[in-house]
Amino acid sequence: MKSIKEALSEAMPNFYRFPVFTVDNGKKNKTVGMAYLRDGQGIYSLRLWMFLEDKFFLLPSREDSSKFLLMTREINKTNSSQNKFFWNIVGNAKADVQKGMIELNFDLLEKKIYMSLYPDESANPFGKTAPDEGLAAA
């Protein structure tokens, strides 16, 4: 018989959490947000602490696996449309595997911010790092 912890762990999808941070003199300086990736998804959800009400998405390029688009989305309120969302490009990103991070370039932010390529080691009590329910990517 499974324990409650095991049953809940199996019912919850795996989420991986990636720190978003600034860099000063080549070293990680301050954590400014988190990115989340759900098992089986290819789109990261990003939360930046200074924009708590906004959610950003990091979508990989189909042509180059080291390049990404930074996007927002808004619900399409037109009933006759087949598209559920309007996607808005708000920047781009490029992975640097040697440095272990992705450089995030938001169109309106001058300061460079970065996302770790490696998930955070911390996890919730059930062994999974899960954001609030609203972060499921697509």
Residue 62's CATH number = 2.40.160
Tell me, yes or no, whether 48 lies in a domain: yes
- Structurally, the chain folds into a number of domains equal to 1
Angle at CA of residue 72, ends 67 and 76, nearest 5°: 130
Query: Does 8 score more than 60 pLDDT?
Result: no
Q: How many residues appear in the chain?
A: 138
Query: Does 60 score more than 50 pLDDT?
Result: yes
Tell me the whole-structure pTM to 2 decimals. Answer: 0.76
Widest CA span in the chain: 55
Percent of the chain with pLDDT over 70: 78
Tell me, yes or no, whether 19 lies in a domain: yes
The residue type found at 71 is M
Cα separation, 23 vs 19, whole angstroms = 12
Q: Which residues constitute the domain of residue 99?
A: 14-123
Cα separation, 133 vs 64, whole angstroms = 30
Cα separation, 69 vs 49, whole angstroms = 20
